[in-house]
Amino acid sequence: MKLWELLKNVNINAPLSGKLGEIEISAVCCDSRKAMPGSVFVCISGAVSDGHDHAPSAYEKGCRIFVAERELSLPKDAFVLIADNTRIALAEMSQTFFGNPSKELKVIGITGTKGKTTTAHLIYHVLNTSGIKAGYIGTNGIMFDGKFYETVNTTPESYDLAQYMRKMLDSEVKYLVLEVSSQAIYMDRIRGMEFETCVFTNLSPDHIGGNEHPTFEHYRDCKARLFSEYKPKIAIFNADDEASDYMMSNCPAPKFSYSIKGNGHFLAEKLEYYRDGGRLGVKFDMKAGGELSAKVDLPLPGDFNASNALAAAAVCISAGVSFDKIVSALSTASLRGRFEIVDALPYATFIIDYAHNGVSLRSVLTTLRAYEPKRLICVFGSVGGRTKLRRAELGKVAGELCDLCIITSDNPDNEPPEQIIDEIAAAFGEGSCPYVKIPSRREAVLYAVRNARKDDIILFAGKGHEEYQLICGKREYFCERETIIEGAFGMLLGR
């Protein structure tokens, strides 16, 4: 691709002229380690490092074309193009480089504080089960055509997004189900993309402070931009969430609502919780448009999962899936790391979930209480180095709703785990449940399994799908699922 073509949608300080615009470009990158001859290096200022400082490294690897927000100190044979915003430049260049894949894929964008991953997976499952080839990008990785790739962010960097969308098209994928985080909108990772359908699940304070959003209003407004600025063809929203009016206020698309409280186009009525051995779920009557109705047996517990299922049903109906196929597919849904039941011991229920803030933990624990466990036990911690306000929230909620808490590590990174644990424990006051402190996540999980009793429900919160612990800047392999099974195996052998 010629440089002039790559930059046709990018605002730079001067027009390309002569031979410069005719230079053939073979790659675009923002990581200097991936730079090579024929590539364009885009200097991105991040929370931890500044790409402008790594331009010399990219030059040493053979890169000669740079897009930056300020002048760079490079040899004279380097061409530096100045853009007002290199994040926007990277996103526009990436879409152009991969042939604007969002114009060919039907992209379903899902945003909200909670429920993005579950809703996205339900849509992905229903579409594929119904014979419509779909891909998924989000917190749980990238999946399409039997392939799986890990992701670092809920919504990957703009170049990775465009690249994987092109790979999906090459595999004849028709729909992409994309979790759209507030950070992705804030950091312009989805700039230049087109959306078929966008979904709003709910809103509560999260990701505020530090390197994230400066205020709740900023966080909220970033999410709202998905509906106003990106102008989907269809908007679907949760009528039970009070922020929906705000989110939809500047959205020009036709709007459809869902509700478990009787106030939407898609309804869940007569919710009934059930527990079948270690299996937890919810049954409900699903109604659509006043004409379609069927009984849904969803093998995921709680009101909020019934709500997520309604959102998925609304999207899939808009994609042309029949009501009967949707109902059938929902009955076989499962999800790694989201209310995931680990079949380990016959007398207790072990659940892995990603709940990592006060709002989500309260929702999960309140739901589990409704299943009337003998004891409700929670194993949890909080991440190091950021979102410190979560710690008191987590401690207060868990202390209020549990019978026993095991406070441990959750990606402590460079912060001493004991310090994080002490801050959580400080929120346990009079009337709170007992707790123990076990800094090693592995030992905490094994302790929970070894002390499980008949009809207990043990929730392992915070890690969800993750199979690592972030310790001192390094990801160390840790699989909660495997550790639970290991502990259970040891119990059965009498060890």
Give me the pLDDT at residue 278, please: 67
**DSSP state string for 304-316:** HHHHHHHHHHHHH
Give me the pLDDT at residue 81, please: 94
In terms of C-beta distances under 8 Å and separation of at least 24 residues, what long-range contacts does 18-22 make, across chains too?
20/79
Give the contacts of 60 (CB within 8 A, at least 6 positions apart): none
How far apart are the C-alpha atoms of 423 and 419, rounded to whole Å? Answer: 6
How far apart are the C-alpha atoms of 411 and 328, rounded to whole Å? Answer: 38
Q: Tell me the one-letter amino acid at 409.
A: S
Element (H, E) at 459: strand 457-461
Which tokens sit at 374? Answer: 């003998």
Give the contacts of 356 (CB within 8 A, at least 6 positions apart): 382, 383, 390, 410, 461, 462, 464
b/e per residue 65-91 (b: at least 16 CB within 10 A): bbbbbeebebeeebebbbbeebbbbbb
CATH numbers and ranges of domains, the chain: 3-97 (3.40.1390.10), 101-330 (3.40.1190.10), 340-492 (3.90.190.20)
Contact, 38 vs 221, CB < 8 A? Answer: no
Give me the pLDDT at residue 208, please: 66
Q: Model's pTM, two decimal places?
A: 0.85
Give me the pLDDT at residue 390, please: 87
Give me the pLDDT at residue 116, please: 93
Q: Give the torsion sign (CA, 445, 446, 451, 456).
A: positive
392-435: per-residue pLDDT in tens? 999 999 999 999 999 999 999 999 999 999 999 999 988 899 99
- Which parts of the chain register pLDDT below 70? 47, 207-211, 277-278, 387, 495
